[in-house]
Amino acid sequence: MQPFLFLLVALWWIRSTICATSSPTSFSLFQSYIRGHLDGRLEDATDLLSEYDFIIVGGGSAGAVLASRLSEIAGWTVLLIEAGGLETIVSDIPGMAKYLQLTDIDWQYQTEPQPGQCLALKDERCNWPRGKVIGGSSVLNYMLYVRGNRRDYDGWAKAGNYGWSYKDVLPYFIKSEDNRNPYLAKNKDYHGTGGLLTVQEAPYHTPLSTAFVQAGVELGYQNRDCNAESQTGFMIPQGTVRDGSRCSTAKAFLRPARKRKNLHVALRSHAHRVLIDDQKQAYGVVFERGKKILRIRAKKEVILSAGAIGSPQLLMLSGVGDPDHLNSVGVTVKHSLKGVGQNLQDHISGRGMVYLINETVSYVETRFLNIQSMLNYVRHRGPLTALSGTEGLAWVKTKYADPNDDYPDMQLQFIAGSDISDGGLSLKNNDNVKDSVWKEYYEPIAYRDSWQPIPIVLRPKSKGYILLRSSDPYAKPLIYANYFTHPDDIKVMIEGMKIGLALSKTEAFQRFGSRLYDKPFPGCETLPLWTDKYWECFLRQYSTTLYHQSSTCKMGVLDKEPLAVVDPELRVYGIKGLRVVDASIMPDVVSGNTNAPTIMIAEKAGDLIKETWIAKEASLNDI
């Protein structure tokens, strides 16, 4: 049964059954579930003003946070422009995350074909899902709450980005956080309670989650909170979930602010460009809403929070970027800034492996996509509350990392299932796998119990770029991922594959009869299995994103960093009244999942903007 149809049938069945049994408790649970989704939903502003103090373009992981924080100042007016609509009942269910890709709440980007990457995928293109919905990719993602390594941020500061050291940014992680796992929340030096963003472990785990952590201990790693003092180790992950449901930035930050009269949210509004005058002052935004082209002015600032793909695209459409490229697509140059769209970084992942097991304990679709699971879900338990199969995280060191430094170069994301778990219903399409590859390699073992350790190169040296396809704001940009173009990345990834194999051989996993599926991968049949050459072939065939695109509007000191786009206060070089606030400003991608760091960036930006304008207003009042 298709998942959306299943959900409708399940909700109808639950309501009918509950009403028929006249169970006050069950009926109350059903009402509570529906109310939890509907209560506090945002309203699409109907009558927009002609001018606002701040216009924020993009209501995602960063934009929703920033709109909430800036509208705390009652005297400031804030317009948040979002190309998508509202979250759905399906997107609220953590276990349904994989079914959100390739829908109308996904921008459905794809990389351009390039040698040596994505070779087993249709047209040799990697799918890059991004959220086109209020809450952005925090509505589409797998909800993992990961901060990165302290060395990441200290590196930013060392490069001249004042105010971005780990000591500087840690308070902003804590500010957002409402950590509901007492054994972690008690560490007040690293965790917060009472913030707007709910963070907790998923209510449901399979026995494989414990096996993963135990396997790590067998290999000599500690079971620890990798978001605290030290990162190297294994842990049961926390996610941005609340009572078994997704806690997006829209739910966490915008719903509490929805009644503020100074905050307007314009949904289904597609930004065309930023208005920039001849004095290089940003003064407004052009966007389409309801088949009408609107021009709305910004008295103080325009802020781009459209993400690592959308923000550089909008800058280029507005005439800010490499003049040669802008001229080639017919965009009038407003300011030369060659770093726009450059320095693209992403966490390359090796997602194609399958480890088979003998026990029926993993996430096999036919066992959990059923009425009973939905009934359990409305009671805040069961497999639909899980982080879509992600049950463990680890940060480990390959032979290329410094053994004496807490700066691991490899992350393992443990999935209590694999590509075969849904029989090709969604994961195959999400990764854009060729039908022939699926049929030859995966179909013979479809729906069998399995697990997967996804290796991730934490600090890739391969860097891509984004270009405009044309001057049309509706044309998706050209994305060149450049995966594995630096030889060190493939070397680190190969070692990650070997660590996954070592995990499988531990006593913890051998209890389940774990073994690596040993059929040669299509395109690699002539190579000896499990050799470095075989693993390299495998990875170049099945290259995938971990959805962590970043760094395309790099923060840096322009005199030292020729590709810098914004300064340490996130102001776009050469254009007054324009900032970028999202993952694109990262000088280098952090050593972990990027949603929590993006929220942190927005929290810090909110304070930077408040400090700037409160001081300006105070000085004007003193005159």
Q: Return the active site residues.
A: 548
Q: How far apart (Å, rounded) are the C-alpha atoms in residues 197 and 175?
A: 9
Q: What length is written for the chain?
A: 623
- For residue 384 the two structure tokens come to 């639909």
The residue among 386, 435, 394 whose CA lies nearest residue 200 is 386
* SS3 (DSSP) at 146: coil
Tell me the C-alpha distance between 274 and 297, whole Å: 10
Pairing of strands 465-467, 478-480: antiparallel
Could you tell me if 56 and 254 are in contact, meaning their C-beta atoms sit under 8 angstroms apart?
Answer: no
How many Å apart are CA 473 and CA 455, to the nearest integer? 36
- Structure-derived torsion over alpha carbons of residues 46, 49, 54, 55, reported in degrees to the nearest 10: 50
Q: Which pair of structure tokens corresponds to residue 498? A: 């070997």
Chain-centroid distance of CA 608 in Å reads: 24
Give the side-chain half-sphere CA count within 13 A for 284.
Answer: 11
Q: Label residue 359 left, alpha or beta by phi (over 0 means left) and psi (-120 to 50 means alpha).
A: beta
Q: Which residues pair with 275 in a beta bridge?
A: 284
Q: What is the Cα–Cα distance from 570 to 158, expressed in whole angstroms?
A: 17
> Residue written as tokens 């300011």?
335
Contact 94, 246 (CB under 8 A): yes
Cβ neighbours of 189 (radius 10 Å): 8
Neighbours of 111 (CB within 10 A): 24
Residue 133, marked binder? yes
Indicate the helix (H) or strand (E) that contains 429: helix 427-430
Q: State the DSSP string of 343-408.
A: SBB--EE-----EE-SSS-S--HHHHSSHHHHHHHHTT-SGGGSSTTEEEEEEE--TTS-TTSS--
Closest CA to 310 of 463, 86, 475, 66: 475
Contact 554, 343 (CB under 8 A): yes
Structure tokens at 379: 């009671």
DSSP-H helix ranges across 254-354: 307-317, 323-328
Contacts of 500 (CB under 8 A, 6+ apart): 353, 355, 412, 453, 455
Alpha carbon 180 to its chain centroid, in Å, reads 22
Per the annotation, where are the binding residues for FAD?
Answer: 133
Per the annotation, where are the binding residues?
Answer: 133
